[in-house]
Structure formats: structure tokens, C-alpha cells
Amino acid sequence: MGVLALIGTRKGLFVLRAADGRDRWQIEGPLLDTWGVYHAVVDERDGTWYAAANHTTYGPTVQRSSDGGQTWRRSRQIGLPEESGLVLNATWHIEPGLPEDPETLYLGGDPGVLFRSHDRGESWQVNRAILDHPTRADVWIPGAGGLCCHSIQIDPRDPGRIYVGITSAGTFRSDDAGETWVPRNKNIVADFRPDPYAEVGQCPHKLLLHCTQPDRLWQQNHCGVYRSDDRADSWLRLDGNGLPSPFGWALMLDPDDPDTAFVIPARSMEYHYGPGGRLAVYRTTDAGATWESVSNGLPDQSWTVVLREASAFDDESVYFGTQSGSFFVLADGDTWLEAARHLPTILSVEVTSWSA
């Protein structure tokens, strides 16, 4: 089975396809030309493509296509209620619901908001409990990336258990399908705040749940890499043994092995490039106890980074795109293949299976 990659960039959506070997790629695009595609995903329940599309002049929306990207339709206007005093700044992440909820999708946005659609993305309703969360007014302070709800993870055993990651606010869990949300940031440091171990105010950069061991979550945070084995009730810090920096955005998992994860460290928020000017991927196969560099095929010197939505994984491989417009795939053992270069700034990567 081949692979189809949706590459969201600042200047539209690129589609890359490869056969099973993942060594030769065909590029199509840009689709949604001129739109910044913060995230795009194929809903594997019905094949619809969704894109969190943001235009510098015409604002945020969701675009969707039922014909493989040939034609697109915007969702009805997505917005926040007037009494909130907030307006929607950007759409960030689209998460299809579980197979038993075929009409349901979730959408994360800025300023730290979550929407749900019950009609396959035609319209979106804001989640009031996140919008009105009691910690929002005093603790949620936008960082350089705003207040973006970038990670939405649903427990495959229970559609009522949902996790969200919001920058400068933290990780939150709902056990009642979004009616209530509790902060879940225990042991996660926020060294930019007066109380570095406060209940709220941490800055997750990417949050992923493991599909076969759903009590386990991984998190690349502004301040370290973490793992939880108890549904985010507590977190264990993992970046002290082998990672050159605790900072970064990208996070990839192995669906077949809950102990394996990949990160791409960046020097710090002041620098936004890899330590030593190197683009390097680090892998753990022992649940974060140790890390090793997996960087064969990557450039020796590269002052670029991989953004929070710009990495992906499937059963066969892992993938990422850089701010400098290169798309890499781990195609042959532990060697990276640069499948595309000179694309616009890559904002997001998602992959799905594809057959010619």
C-alpha cells in the first residue's frame, strides 16, 4: 500500500504520493492556493479531505473536499459568541471523531478554542466549557504562537474522553464528551511563569495518545518531553538522557510500539533552530529512558525547524517537513530521504494510505 501526504504550507496545500517503497514521490499542488494551511487531514471514515485554512486578508475557515482536492467547500462561518469578547484568530487542527460517530469532527483554534461539528464540517459549534474555562481570564496568556488549540486526542475506547493541548494554557482532559474539562499538567514545568508547577499555564507544543495503549500519552512541551501512563493524571519528564535540548515542537509515535517516539529538538524559543545548527531527529525505544540520534540523510548544517503540526507517522514510517520547505521520510532503515524540497514554509504534514 502506498502513502499520500498532505503538506500544508503558507502558500497552499501540496499533495505527495508514493508507492509502497516510499522512495519516489509525485507532487501535486498547490491546492487552496494563497491560503495558509495550518493542518490538513483525510477523514478515513469517508475519504473527505479537511483543511484548517487561514488567509492573511480573509481570515480563518475550514475547507473540505469530497473529490480528492479537485473542488473545495468552505464551512459556514466559524466564530465565537459576542459575549465572549473574543474573535476567532485562526483555525489550527481538525480531528475526525471515532468511527461510531461518523458525522462528528473536532476543530481547534486560536484563541484557545475548541469546536465540534455534527454535520461533517458544514457547521461548527464552540465548546462552551473550554471557552468559559475558569482559568482562562487570569492564567491563559498568549505566547509567540498565540493561544492555539493544536492537539485534540480522543480515547479510541471512549468517545467521551478527549484531551486537548493549548499553548500557554496546558493540557486538559474531558471525561464527559466536552461538558467539563480538568487541567492535567502535574509535574510539567513552566519555567516562564512565577510558579513553574502551577496547575495551569504550561505550554504543550504537541500532544499525542498512543492508539494501542490509550492510557499512554506523549507530549513535546515548551519545557521538556513528557510521557503519561495514567491518562494524563501525571507526567514523567524524559529529556534528561540523550536529548540535546528539551525544546521543540515535532512529535511522532510508532503505532506498533508504545515505547517508541521521535522528537526533533530546537535550541530554545530564542533561536528556533536545532542545537549546533543541525537538523536532527532523536528516537527512544525504551519509553523515553534513553534517546539516540537518527539523522542519516539529513543536512549537516541547517538553520531550520519543524513546526508543531509538521510531522506525521503511520505503520511503515515517520515523516516531517521543515520551515525551509523540505519534506523528509524515513524510507530505508534509519536513513532519511528528502522527498521534496523548495516548497513554501511547511506548516503541517499528515499521511494516509493510498493505492495507485
Partner 1 sequence: MVRIVVPSVLASEAEGKQSFDVEAETLGDALRALPVADLLFNERGELRHHVNVYVDGEDHRERGGLVSPLEDAHEVRIVAMVSGG
Using CB under 8 A, list all residues that contact partner 1: 33-34, 55-59, 61, 74, 76-80, 82, 87-88
Q: Which is nearer to partner 1, 114 or 200 (CB)?
A: 114
Question: To the nearest whole angstrom, how small is the minimum distance from the Cβ of residue 31 to partner 1?
Answer: 11
Question: To the nearest whole angstrom, how small is the minimum distance from the Cβ of residue 77 to partner 1?
Answer: 4
Please give the single-letter amino acid code of residue 22: R
Q: Which is nearer to partner 1, 78 or 266 (CB)?
A: 78
Question: To the nearest whole angstrom, how small is the minimum distance from the Cβ of residue 138 to partner 1?
Answer: 24
Q: Which is nearer to partner 1, 82 or 270 (CB)?
A: 82
Question: To the nearest whole angstrom, how small is the minimum distance from the Cβ of residue 250 to partner 1?
Answer: 27
Q: Which is nearer to partner 1, 33 or 270 (CB)?
A: 33
Residues present in the chain in total: 356
Question: To the nearest whole angstrom, how small is the minimum distance from the Cβ of residue 325 to partner 1?
Answer: 18
Q: Which is nearer to partner 1, 87 or 289 (CB)?
A: 87
